[in-house]
Chains A and B, each alone.
Chain A
Amino acid sequence: MDTSAPLLDVSSVAKSFTMHLRGGLRLPVVANVAFTVHPGECVVLGGPSGVGKSSILRMVYGNYAVDAGQILVRDQTTQEMADLATGDPRLVLDLRQNSIGYVSQFLRAVPRVSALDVVAEPLVTRGVERNVATSRAGEMLERLNLPSALFTLPPATFSGGEKQRVNIARGFITDHPILLLDEPTASLDAANRDVVVAMIKEKLGVGTAILGIFHDIPVREAVATRIIDVSAFSAREAA
């Protein structure tokens, strides 16, 4: 593979919300969003709150629909660029399985499922044997200093920082070539923040393309290879 070729190529993307419960009020978010992310790059989406950073991340993961534009993702299986913006649900699911990972800001805890199983699940669904996946999950959680007494408990009752570490472990356990990070260090103490920074650098070292939002300035300075000011894409003024 040509290592200079982008893994993610976003062009002319626009997004607005139409609030039908508010009389069809249309809220433009972003327009003409365009950027690329190459292997080993950590591109940080910058700009003030509400400018559309999370919306861009969610569109790139297929969680938000786009009004216009292309989101080309290099398919890990075929090495072709696939358009996630216009792709059907099966294409999006397939890209999520093999090509593009996402660490959300908050863990969506499933009742009764232990922290260990939450973390191991992405490996299990990719065909890794459950005991292998579970032991990898344990290593990840240990590295993130989660008390081992919590491993077998469902994260629903964990603190914000503990949940976030479970979420990070789950997002980092796979080797997706593209990783989307939405404020992964927001509720972490300094020691754990440093662990996450080290984990991000390891990912970059093996050529993972990272697109992220980091409000935490020391973290951003430690990991960013490039910062994109999302204000440039803001469509709010046009409303």
Chain B
Amino acid sequence: MSTQPILSIRDLARRYGAFVACANISFDVWPGEVVAIVGESGSGKTTLLNCISGRMERSSGEVRYRMRDGRFPDLQDLSEAERRFLARTDWGFVHQNPADGLRMRVSAGANVGERLMAIGDRHYGNIRQTAADWLERVEIAAMRIDDKPVSFSGGMRQRLQIARNLVTHPRLIFMDEPTGGLDVSVQARVLDLLRMLVADLGLSVVIVTHDLAVARLLSQRMIVMKSGHVVEQGLTDRVLDDPRHPYTQLLVASIPEN
């Protein structure tokens, strides 16, 4: 067992005036672990993800991240440049809508290569070869490397977004409903890819989803949110097979076959 968490959240809260979007949130993420945050729309799960990933300011609380050199600073105490470097290299963010995570008017190859250039790669041939390798890993034909994502299907765009995120070998990936907008058959393919890549690369992941089947397939640990608060958390199969909180029981009872 790895002895130190890669991410540690303590008493995190985000308020809008008197409205509490999320509060009293504390949990750790350990290296190689996938943590799912589930709950219905409006439960505060996306706000939580945005606060953790530094895309939104929190109102209070701590978010600490284990840097490659072993330091464990609160993200708020990093300089803007350090934060941006983390976001470009150590972290990934997979959006529900691929258009939010891709540049739709540049080629697929450039979408993947751009992240490499951001970390200092300058050799055009290498960048193109790495981009081609990653397209293949996410099951996009290499001949599509010069095509723009606007010409891709939804599933392909999502797979391209995944490749763009993983090419820099990040350690921590945030995902916001990564299969949310996809047809069921396309969803299965994207999920399977995520499952394999996460396992092969030993990634730590925080994934927000309202789909309990996605949580079961990908995560080891699950956090259930309602009205901005954590109502239950634990081992994913335990929470799903033996839910204790009334809201979790309602969620689990609401799916046809789990």
Contact = CB atoms under 8 A, between A and B. Distances in A.
Interface of A: 17-21, 58, 62-65, 89-90, 92-94, 110-113, 124-125
Contacts of A62: 235, 238
B30 A90 contact: yes
Contact of A19 (B30, B189, B195, B249): B249
A110 B192 contact: yes
Contact of B220 (A19, A20, A93, A110): A93
A112 to B, nearest CB: 4
9 contacts: A20-B246, A58-B241, A63-B235, A64-B238, A65-B244, A90-B30, A111-B188, A111-B192, A112-B188
A85 to B, nearest CB: 12
Contacts of B217: 110
Contacts of B192: 110-113
Interface in B183-234: 188-189, 191-192, 195, 199, 217, 220-221, 234
Interface of B: 1, 30, 188-189, 191-192, 195, 199, 217, 220-221, 234-235, 237-238, 241-242, 244-246, 249-250, 253
A21 B189 contact: no
A152 B138 CA distance: 20
Contacts of A17: 242
A112 B1 CA distance: 30
Nearest to A18: B244
B184 to A, nearest CB: 9
A21 B253 contact: yes
Contact of A63 (B30, B241, B245): B241
Given A89-B221, A110-B195, A111-B188, 7 more contacts: A18-B244, A58-B242, A62-B238, A64-B238, A89-B238, A92-B235, A112-B189
Contacts of B220: 89, 93
B249 A64 contact: no
A65 B241 CA distance: 10
Contacts of B246: 20-21
Given A20-B249, A89-B235, A64 B188 contact: no
Nearest to B28: A90
A89 B118 CA distance: 37
Contacts of B234: 65, 89
Nearest to B187: A111
Contacts of B244: 18, 65
Given A21-B246, A21-B249, A113-B192, A90 B241 contact: no
Nearest to B196: A113
Contact of B242 (A21, A64, A125): A64
Contacts of A19: 249
A65 B239 CA distance: 9
A58 B217 CA distance: 19
Contacts of B253: 21
A97 to B, nearest CB: 9
Given A21-B250, A89-B234, A65 B242 contact: yes
Contacts of A89: 220-221, 234-235, 238
Contacts of A94: 1
A137 B151 CA distance: 41
A94 B3 CA distance: 12
Contacts of B199: 124-125
B235 A93 contact: yes
Determine which residue in A58, A93, A125 has the highest number of CB atoms from chain B within 10 A of its CB, and name it.
A93
A37 to B, nearest CB: 22
Nearest to B253: A21
Give the top 10 A-B pairs by smallest Cβ distance, nearest first: A20-B246, A111-B188, A89-B235, A64-B242, A112-B192, A20-B249, A94-B1, A89-B221, A65-B242, A63-B237
A20 B238 CA distance: 17
A58 B235 CA distance: 13
